[in-house]
Homo-oligomer: A and B are copies of this chain.
Amino acid sequence: MKAVAFTGLPGAGKTEAVKVAHEQGIKVISMGDEVREEVKKRGMEINDENLGKVAEEMRRKHGMDIWAKKCLKKIREKCSDEEVVVIDGIRNIEEVETFKKYIKNFILVAIHASPHIRYRRLMERGREDDSIKMDDLKRRERREMSWGIGNVIAMADIIITNEGSMESFRKKVKKILS
């Protein structure tokens, strides 16, 4: 089996990369879906606060790589040995190590754009007051960094830059997936 995991800070282009995978008929295993399932199972409402709380609690109880382990279980159930699988939502280095241990052909791909470009993109997406939005962006970024996403990016096997056209970025993603 070959697995490609995408990582990157908000606004770098992870969502678009996953969209390309979907279009190519590649199965996408989302780490966030695992957290959502757990929240639902507990009868809690699906919102940012509950998702964060459950994700953290499970990490404390069962180890930093608990969500990677749950994803591995799903990959084994859903995917054949010959398939290419995309993993979405890696957040810390322990998850990377667990995937590397159990998937022989595991490629970690970081998507990068300068802060300047990422902020502009994220601002263009929203319609709220700019100054509030900028604070929210930076808060979200700091939260992801506190979880260790920076180290995941630093340890990537491949870094692709997403600062030009959407088309050139999609081409780079397709090349990696093929």
Chain copies in complex: 2
CB-defined contacts of A116 to chain B, threshold 8 Å: 157
For the complex, give the distance between the alpha carbons of A159 and B113 in Å.
9
CB of B157 within 8 A of CB of A154, answer no
Against B, the Cβ 8 Å flags (1 = close, 0 = not) of A88-113 are: 00000100000000000000000010
CB of B93 within 8 A of CB of A158, answer no
Q: Which of B145, B151, B159, B161 contacts A145 (CB 8 A)?
A: B151
CB of B93 within 8 A of CB of A155, answer no
For the complex, give the distance between the alpha carbons of A150 and B155 in Å.
8
CB of B159 within 8 A of CB of A154, answer no
The 9 closest A-B pairs by CB, nearest first: A150-B150, A150-B151, A150-B154, A153-B154, A145-B151, A114-B157, A112-B159, A9-B154, A159-B159
